[in-house]
Amino acid sequence: MDHIPTLSAPGDSIRVGETTLAEGPGLPLSFGHAYLALLVCLSGCAHFTLNFKEHAIRRGGVMLLAEDTIALLKRRSRRFRVFFCLMPKSFAAEVAYPLPSTLFVFLHDHPHCAPSKEDMPLIEGWVAQTRSITGTCPTYQNVMLRNQLQNLFLKITEQLPANQLEHTGFSRKEMLSWRFWELIGKNCIRHRDVKFYADALNITPFYLSQLTRAFFNDTPKGLIDRQVTLEIKALLSYSDLAIGRVADELNFADASYLCRYFKRQTGISLSHYRKHKREEGGQD
């Protein structure tokens, strides 16, 4: 394969594979409806421009490209080959849910991570395991891939000095955007209204909407609802709480309202989602 295929629709499942990108020099990378694209260099080397900054990618190098990343392959060696993982928004959100937000602040500004010589076997092992999961584990594939990606991101986090996760060069707009992201994680269980967050940031809801569209390509309400939906999914997946108790835990007026909210966000019922997760986890 000489190029990276695209996700043809927002609801597509995760896609993994390998490519030489032989058709890519001089062209911007496109991933269709992928929300995040993870690339790992398997061999050779290449020079990319990522958000107008030059990066030399060598064996073991990891690139995390968001849907708004401007990525251009400038040149590649004859042996250049990459492993890719394309994630739709819903899957990417599940991967990111338990991870530290500071990591994504860092990766937003540093989309290329080069491993140390000592970590090369870990990267190669991670790619081999991911290949194996996609080729031999159809029943639990999504759960295993989610765990694989979380382990990789946590490893990156562990390798970074604490001061590298503290970025002071953001503009005021960027700081407000990331602060909003942090506030959602801390408060979405009790506050689902945009005005609460705008007031906490001392800005208007309209200005907050402008920020989130520019930096996250979504509305404030869309980002809040996405996090609330992840909280609901976590309780349905990892607890035996009755639906009424789940509604209480997440500050919904009653179970009926929770059911309508979840169906509107996901297109499936609470009971169907819980049954599917239990079957997926072998709990039945």
User: According to the model, what pLDDT value does residue 166 have?
Assistant: 58
Instruction: For residue range 12-51, list pLDDT tens digits in order.
Output: 788 999 999 988 788 788 887 788 999 999 999 999 999 8
If pLDDT is split at 50, 70 and 90, which confidence band does 175 have? confident
Strands 62-66 and 53-58: unpaired
Give the whole-angstrom CA distance, residue 33 versus residue 131. Answer: 22
User: According to the model, what pLDDT value does residue 284 have?
Assistant: 41
Do 109 and 29 lie in one domain? The reply is: yes
Per-residue 3-state assignment (H helix, E strand, C coil) for 191-212: CCCHHHHHHHCCCCHHHHHHHH
Contact status, residue 145 vs residue 83, Cβ threshold 8 Å: no
Do 230 and 145 lie in one domain? The reply is: no
Residue 236: HSE in the Cβ half-sphere, 13 Å Cα cutoff: 23
Count Cβ atoms below 10 Å from residue 136 Cβ, excluding itself.
Answer: 8
Residue 78's identity, in one-letter code, is R
The least confident of 6-10, 80-84, 266-270 is: 6-10
Do 215 and 152 lie in one domain? The reply is: no
Residue 93: HSE in the Cβ half-sphere, 13 Å Cα cutoff: 19
**Considering just the CA atoms, what is the radius of gyration of the chain in Å?**
20
Do 136 and 177 lie in one domain? The reply is: no
CATH of the domain at 125: 2.60.120.280
User: According to the model, what pLDDT value does residue 283 have?
Assistant: 46
Give how many domains the chain has, as a whole number.
2
Residue 128's identity, in one-letter code, is A
Q: Can you tell me whether residue 53 is helix, strand or coil?
A: strand
Q: Which of 129, 164, 199 is a domain's end point? A: 164
Q: Which of 143, 164, 185 is a domain's end point? A: 164
Q: Can you tell me whether residue 112 is helix, strand or coil?
A: strand
CATH of the domain at 274: 1.10.10.60
User: According to the model, what pLDDT value does residue 203 have?
Assistant: 94
Domain interval for residue 188 = 172-280
Q: Is 1 inside a domain boundary?
A: no
Count Cβ atoms below 10 Å from residue 124 Cβ, excluding itself.
Answer: 15
pTM value is: 0.74
Contact status, residue 13 vs residue 61, Cβ threshold 8 Å: no
In percent, the amount of the chain with pLDDT more than 70 equals 93
Instruction: For residue range 82-134, list pLDDT tens digits in order.
Output: 999 999 988 998 898 888 877 877 887 889 999 888 999 999 999 999 999 99
